[in-house]
Each structure stands twice: as structure tokens, then as C-alpha cells.
């Protein structure tokens, strides 16, 4: 069977393009790293929001407790200073109770101030995390759109090239195709090359003049003595 130079060289071009597209697709940034970062940030925000909710609830409860203590102290103080109670022991007990309420109020005042400070800090943290999450979510969405757009372009070209490659391969003599595919697997996807400026288009080693003349023969396949790739030489 005559040498199928044009078909093999075209097949090689298609295989190189398919490999290039496949590598390009595999190297695309799908946004997975940004999504993982976004998920971590979302979890951190949820934790900060939960802490803020608890702090706000604790602050409300502390203020209600303070109000209750102040009301109780006011009731006892009013009884003490109305003069209706004259029993010394009862008076002393009321004074001790007022002192106890005073101590409770002091502790609650300190607790409320601490909660207010923690609430302020946590509110700032929540605001910061919300801002960072919003920015990151926008970046992730943009990356996903870019990825899908590029992947769609690559898939469209592969969808066009693959049937062409199958049809072309089917037209090549089976034994020649097997040799080509075997060489391609062993030679970094490059099996059929041209002689360019007297050198092998695969390994770039100089090709003897006799081999170049043989590579022009339409009835035989010639292989590079250095890399074993199929050689095709332009006509004189």
C-alpha cells in the first residue's frame, strides 16, 4: 500500500491538538480552591454570628437581672427609710440585704460592661467576615463563569475534532495505524514528523541525505535512526 503521508501528518496534527486541548482543560481553574476558601469563611462567619447572638442574649439577660436587683433594692430601701420597721434585727437584716443587692449590682455592672465590649468586638468581626465573604463569593462566581466559558470552547473544539480524527484513522492502513499509535505512545504523542532543514522534526537530530531521499519514496516508510519516528521529506 502506498505511503499515506498526508493522512498520517494530518492525523498527527489532530492528535497534537487534541492532546493540547485535553491538557488545557485539565489545567483549568474550576474555582474549587476559592470554593473551599469560601466554605471556610462561611463557617467562620456562622460561628461569629452565633457568638454574637449569644453575647447579645447574655447582655439582655444581664440587664434584666440588673433591673430586677435594682427594683428589689429599691423596695427594701423604701421599707428601711419609711420608719415602719423598728425591730433592730429586722433593720440590720434589711441593711445587709441592701448591701447584698449593691454587691450584685456591682458584679452585674461589670458583667454588662464586659459583654458590651465583647459584643462590639464580635460585631466588628462579623461585619469584616461578611465583607470578606461577599468579595470572595463574587470572585468565585466570576471564576466559575470563566471556567465554564473556556471549558465550553474546548469541548466544542474536541467535539468537532474527535470525529474527524476517528474518520481519518479509519482510512489509514491498520498495520500502519498500529505502528503510528505505538510510536505516539512511546514518543510523547509525536510519531509522524517532517524533515526540516535536514533535521528530524521530532528529535532535531540531523538526518543523513540518503535517509532524506528514502523518506521521499511514496512506496515505503522511513524512520528516524535516532528516535524511530516516521519521517516525511518534502519533494525536491
What beta strand segments (E) does 65-224 contain?
Answer: 192-196, 199-200, 222-223
Helix (H) / strand (E) element for 230: namely: strand 230-232
Q: Where are the domains of the chain?
A: 5-22+173-232, 31-163
Q: What pLDDT shows up at residue 236?
A: 64
Can you tell me the distance from the alpha carbon of 31 to that of 233, in angstroms, rounded to the nearest whole number? 46
Q: What pLDDT shows up at residue 133?
A: 97
**Grid coordinates given for 141:** 462566581
Can you tell me the distance from the alpha carbon of 181 to that of 12, in angstroms, rounded to the nearest whole number? 10
> What would you measure as the largest C-alpha separation in the chain, in angstroms?
133
pTM of the model: 0.75
The segments of the chain whose pLDDT lies below 50 read: none
- From the number of C-beta atoms within 10 Å of its C-beta (0-12, 13-18, 19+), residue 218 rates as exposed
Q: What pLDDT shows up at residue 1?
A: 60
Q: What share of the chain is helix, strand, coil (3-state, %, to 5)?
A: 75, 5, 20
Contact predicate 192/200, CB 8 Å: no
Q: What pLDDT shows up at residue 228?
A: 95
Can you tell me the distance from the alpha carbon of 20 to that of 34, in angstroms, rounded to the nearest whole number? 26
Q: What pLDDT shows up at residue 153?
A: 98
Question: Class of 31-163 per CATH?
Answer: mainly alpha
**Strand ranges across the sheet with 230-232:** 199-200, 192-196, 230-232, 222-223
Amino acid at each position: 500500500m502506498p505511503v499515506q503521508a498526508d493522512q498520517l501528518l494530518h492525523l498527527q496534527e489532530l492528535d497534537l491538538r487534541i492532546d493540547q486541548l485535553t491538557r488545557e482543560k485539565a489545567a483549568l481553574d474550576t474555582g474549587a480552591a476559592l470554593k473551599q476558601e469560601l466554605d471556610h469563611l462561611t463557617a467562620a462567619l456562622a460561628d461569629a454570628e452565633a457568638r454574637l447572638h449569644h453575647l447579645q442574649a447574655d447582655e439582655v439577660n444581664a440587664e434584666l437581672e440588673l433591673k430586677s436587683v435594682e427594683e428589689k433594692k429599691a423596695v427594701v430601701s423604701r421599707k428601711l427609710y419609711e420608719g415602719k420597721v423598728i425591730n433592730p434585727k429586722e433593720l440590720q437584716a434589711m441593711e445587709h440585704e441592701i448591701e447584698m443587692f449593691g454587691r450584685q449590682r456591682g458584679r452585674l455592672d461589670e458583667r454588662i460592661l464586659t459583654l458590651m465590649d465583647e459584643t462590639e468586638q464580635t460585631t466588628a468581626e462579623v461585619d469584616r467576615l461578611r465583607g470578606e465573604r461577599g468579595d470572595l463569593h463574587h470572585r468565585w462566581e466570576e471564576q466559575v463563569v470563566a471556567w465554564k466559558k473556556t471549558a465550553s470552547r474546548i469541548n466544542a473544539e474536541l467535539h468537532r475534532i474527535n470525529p474527524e480524527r476517528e474518520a481519518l484513522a479509519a482510512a489509514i492502513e491498520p498495520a500502519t495505524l498500529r505502528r503510528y499509535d505505538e510510536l505516539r505512545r512511546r514518543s510523547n504523542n509525536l510519531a509522524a514528523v517532517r524533515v526540516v532543514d535536514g533535521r528530524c522534526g521530532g528529535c532535531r537530530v540531523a538526518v543523513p541525505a540518503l535517509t532524506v531521499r528514502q523518506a521521499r519514496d511514496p512506496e515505503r516508510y522511513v524512520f528516524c535512526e535516532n528516535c524511530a519516528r516516521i519521517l516525511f521529506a518534502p519533494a525536491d
